Structure 1
Amino acid sequence: MSTPEAELPKARVVLCWHMHQPSYFNPGTGDYQLPWVYLHAIKDYVDMAAHLEAVPEARAVVNFSPTLIEQIEDYSAQVAGFLAGERRLQDPLLRALAEPVLPDDECERRHLVQQCLRVNHRRLVEPFPAFHRLVELSRWVERHGQHVDYLSDQFMVDLLVWYHLAWLGETVRRRDPRVRRLLRQEAAYTIHDRRELLEVIGELMGGVLERYRRLADSGRVELSVTPYAHPILPLLQDVQSAREAWPEIQLPLLERYFGGEERARWHVERGIETFEKAFGRRPEGCWPAEGGVSRATLELLAESGFRWAASGGAVLDNSLRAADQWAEDDPRWHRAYTLAGADGAAGNGGANAHHPPLHCFFRDDGLSDAIGFEYSDWHGDDAVANLVNRLEEIADRCADPGQAVISIIMDGENAWEHYPANGYFFLSGLYRQLADHPRLEMTTFAAAAAGVEPRPLERLVAGSWVYGTFSTWIGEADKNRAWDMLGEAKQAFDRAVPGLKPEVQWRAEAQLAICESSDWFWWFGDYNPAGVVREFDHLYRVQLTALYEILGVEPPEHLSHAFTHRGKGSPEKGGVMRHGRADG
């Protein structure tokens, strides 16, 4: 006799959304070079909070990188200060929206027009006929090489207002009466209209972190953290770890990143400190940058008091094969693991009084990539039905559904502009269906770690969620050159730090951390779009130069020159997201 469905243990489902942006602040100019922090905040971060607020039974993990937290706080302070007449806005795009007098310099105006064309045309332009007309005329001017003074001040104002209206979250457009009025107006926006829109932006920026804090306080969301500036910890700790999953890799000239273990620990400790200040609690879990893990990384996270960490499914596959633990029909990604022999994990007693076992969870790449790359072109109801059906099939294959943890881990910000209405119909439908499901339980990684028995993992092959390797960040000529430039700067740091005053040393450590971010290396490589490669080449050299200047050391000549091949590719979704598998 079959067991009634209501009596079967539920399979746990964890939706983990990773929110992350690198530091776009240019220390040389005092401005933010790119606007993606505040644009994603007013669109994706507020929408993702609103969807969770709307379904009280829903549960999820939301991961924040500390450099993103700091930039959100800074933008909030900027807007509040500007509206009070006390502070200059430090983002050129936001400043152009807010200040009554538009820039009259042709280069500045052309840059503003080009920025307003950096938008998903299908999802964020075509739904708004008034915006569509402005964009088409702007593109005509660009194609025909016309001077931007062909575009009147009123045209520029309307273009700037519409760009920001398009970047607002769908929940904001539906609920805020000020925004609804501006959408109906369509054109001829005034200084008052622009100020009102800036007030909306300021309220969203000022309230978004507090919304997540309240969700966490109510037990509906688990907040987790990434090490401070989003570095690939295993590569800081040991560059040679890249060979574990890719033995034939061509590594940079530097054989190791001197002092890397100390730097990894600094990022972890500073990340926890920044997180605690923002959310009033210590994080229980860590999504290491890009799911980058190694034995040394997991040991560091366990020593730092984390209860769980997560990575990609290909890392688990590589590790099980290396340990001869592989079984083709085993639902291997849908369990918790502990690494044998690691501090505080199975093999070291598993009951270390100082370091409890660190539970490791691994991403289901197929499900996660379906949300990132497939469902955006589906009807929302069909996409939800397909995903829920796939989750049910996984639960059916598990010998013990009560021990199953199905992990969907993905970018929580870049996917939604490819969906109709910023993913509104998909996300709201998904939360409702999963919250009421008789066989699936929405939960968090911390709750899952407390309720399941982890499997021992005999070996861990170092890698990331992208292909199970570190190939996205090292091993290609431009990426390797960037690592050698970083290693050279680190040596200058080590020589200079003993002679620095404490407050200058603190600034230098923070600036070095920005230079150690994974994001620069992500974008280097000729398979990426030329324009983005050019921007990140420039900003990386700006950040390295700032480090030398803080140290009081003359920057090397090569920082005056671009070093990348500038990019020739046109990757899917613009390259901001990747598939978890090389054949994805």
Structure 2
Amino acid sequence: MQQIDLILLWHMHQPDYRHYDTREFQMPWVYLHAIKDYTDMAYHLENHPEIRAVVNFVPILLDQIEDYQTQFSTGQLRDPLLRLLITPDLDKISDNEREYILSTCFKSNHDTMLKPYPAYKRLHDLYDTLHKSNADGLIQFSGRYFSNLLVWYHLAWTGESVRRSHKIIQQLMQKCDNYDYSDRTQLFNLIGELIRTLIHRYRKLAENGQIELSTTPRYHPLAPLLIDFSSARDSLPEIALPAKKQYPGGRDRAAFHLASAMKSHQQRFDIQPVGIWPAEGAVSHSLIQMLEKSGCHWCASGEGVLANSLRRSYPDSILPDRNRYLYRPYRIHGSEGLFCFFRDDQLSDLIGFEYSKWFGRDAAHHFIQSLEQIALHAQPDENPVVSIILDGENAWEFYPYNAYYFLDDLYSLLKSHTSINTTTFRDYINSASHAEQFVTLPALSAGSWVYGTFSTWIGDPEKNRAWDLLCAAKENYDTVIHSDKLTAQEKSEANLQLASCESSDWFWWFGDYNQANTVARFDQLFRDNLANLYRLLKQPVPPVLREPISKGDEHAMEGGTMRRST
């Protein structure tokens, strides 16, 4: 069997959930994913030191994790859920706080994170019963109910590795009911400990050479669209564009996000990143040039982008079997020092969407067998490199035990396999034995890892309306920022607020394929950010920002935090 190189890239990202006016966290997903997914992913790597992988942290996620570290060290909490967890007397909380707990503490995949725990399920059943009979009124639960609900929600969002190594979690789960302030305090303190040590754990893994840490432009912008809206037409020639045909000064904005990410990485990990996972794997020829100029040696995107690029490069040829083109790195024409890798969409989506329904060992064996089939189909002179790229957080809540058994079995099988070598993009590039594998791609078709297009972020009337609102705010920004109306500090604050508004996440959520309640929250947060940008610029806030952009669909089943690549 041919030797095969496997590169696992786990992408860690959450958008900025802080309200720029109050600095309050509007959603708790950063710290919840921290105590569940980021801790578990570090644990599995620590427990299998033979496994090599790439871990990609978006700087805005690291900013927020460090913000939580500060909150725990100072006691000045700006996350309402954490404040409520540590509130001594829950009988005295306000109606708004009661409603906030009830609207938040059942948000999870119920099949794996609620139904397995009878005490937690009883809390939900009681709420569900009373809510149906009193849909228009506030349910007056007792402080004891809220105490139990807060504890169980956090227990459900605790990583499996944490449950197995911290007695306080085991004791609380065994207790089931009647949680008091002391119980909640112990749980709160453990959350603080997990968050305080999190970044250090990944830094240590990198220093030991087990993982390569990579980055993404600072606030996760869809950089090719910032540079040129019309790049969306590379893959979808008829796609509708926003009224403003170009994002004002977009090239400079993309460069800012990239330079800021490089600086962030250097400060946090004492090393320049070798590679970039562009937000959403979104690439264009202009962005590739920008990445190479910044000193990057690799980037990655989706399989659909490669297929579109090959069709564009060789319009008179029929696309061969994917085994003949996918499992190799490419140079983009005109680029000498930067290599582009393309994810295996099928295998990545199996982990993201299908294996959660399997027994962990069966799924791990199937993955290994799939890699063996790739090796068997390789030409005698080829050594395939397979890139598996997906987010390292959202998939696991659909797995029993937060994918504990799947990941443990997968890593165990990989480290004992004689023909599969786990490596990193950096180490693969640096290996002289792979020099003959690099192929030049004559033309790059701009696109993302989702469908090979940008349709998830532009083209829909609601998405385009959001871009129009952002373009108008950017034009105001340009006018004010080049005047003498703001101090240097005020200009810096406006710059970061604009950067947050440029995140790809807002545009991801607009559309009727996403659930209405989630769309409403992201819609409001996006418009709040834009409104605050106007305030920082000392400009009147346009009345249009009071109007929702998108409603979503109450019955939507697709969309959400993850999406299939095809």
Normalising by structure 1, we get a TM-score of 0.93
- 8 Å contact from structure 2 (residues 131, 139) kept in 1: no
Structure 1 residue 543 corresponds to structure 2 residue 535: no
The residue correspondences of 1:151-550 to structure 2 (distance < 5 A) are 151-324=141-314, 327-331=319-323, 332-341=325-334, 345=335, 350=336, 357-400=337-380, 403-451=383-431, 452-453=434-435, 454-498=438-482, 499=484, 500-550=486-536
Partner of residue 548 from structure 2, selected from 553, 556, 562: 562
Deviations 1:86-116 (A, max 9, x none): x2x1111111101213363223202211211
- Long gaps (5+) in structure 2: none
Where 2:299 maps in the other structure, the secondary structure is strand
Q: Which moved more, 1:544-553 or 1:470-479?
A: 544-553
Q: 2:102 is matched by which residue type in structure 1?
A: V
Q: 1:329 is matched by which residue type in structure 2?
A: D
Where 2:262 maps in the other structure, the secondary structure is helix
Distance 2:476 2:495 in 1: 12
Do the aligned partners of residues 48 and 402 (structure 1) sit closer, same or farther apart at CA in structure 2, a change above 3 Å counting?
Answer: farther
Distance 2:16 2:148 in 1: 29
Q: CA deviation at 1:412?
A: 0.8
Do the aligned partners of residues 194 and 467 (structure 1) sit closer, same or farther apart at CA in structure 2, a change above 3 Å counting?
Answer: same
Q: 1:188 is matched by which residue type in structure 2?
A: N
Q: State the percentage of identical aligned residues.
A: 46
Aligned to 1:353: none
Q: Which moved more, 1:386-395 or 1:273-282?
A: 273-282
Distance 2:249 2:474 in 1: 9
- Long gaps (5+) in structure 1: 351-356
Distance 1:398 1:321 in 2: 22
Deviations 1:163-192 (A, max 9, x none): 001100000011111111111111111111
- 8 Å contact from structure 2 (residues 517, 554) kept in 1: no
Distance 1:189 1:434 in 2: 42
Aligned to 2:23: 30
- 8 Å contact from structure 1 (residues 234, 296) kept in 2: yes
Pairwise CA RMSD:
1.4
Q: 2:513 is matched by which residue type in structure 1?
A: Y
Where 1:537 maps in the other structure, the secondary structure is helix
Q: CA deviation at 1:197?
A: 0.5
Distance 1:49 1:401 in 2: 36
Q: CA deviation at 1:120?
A: 1.2
- 8 Å contact from structure 1 (residues 66, 271) kept in 2: yes
Structure 1 residue 81 corresponds to structure 2 residue 74: yes
Distance 1:96 1:392 in 2: 51
Distance 2:60 2:495 in 1: 14
Distance 2:204 2:23 in 1: 33
Distance 1:479 1:317 in 2: 26
- 8 Å contact from structure 1 (residues 320, 326) kept in 2: no
Deviations 1:257-299 (A, max 9, x none): 1111100000001111112222222111100000000000010
Aligned to 1:123: 112
Q: CA deviation at 1:130?
A: 1.2
Q: CA deviation at 1:141?
A: 2.2
- 8 Å contact from structure 1 (residues 527, 568) kept in 2: no
Distance 1:512 1:287 in 2: 22
Deviations 1:24-53 (A, max 9, x none): 101233311111001001000000000000
Distance 1:121 1:549 in 2: 41
Distance 1:567 1:547 in 2: 29
Aligned to 2:85: 97
Aligned to 1:106: 95
Q: CA deviation at 1:330?
A: 4.9
Structure 1 residue 63 corresponds to structure 2 residue 53: no
Q: Which moved more, 1:483-492 or 1:89-98?
A: 89-98
Do the aligned partners of residues 477 and 168 (structure 1) sit closer, same or farther apart at CA in structure 2, a change above 3 Å counting?
Answer: same
- 8 Å contact from structure 2 (residues 512, 556) kept in 1: no
Q: Which moved more, 1:465-474 or 1:176-185?
A: 176-185
Where 1:222 maps in the other structure, the secondary structure is strand
Q: 2:11 is matched by which residue type in structure 1?
A: H
Distance 1:339 1:260 in 2: 22
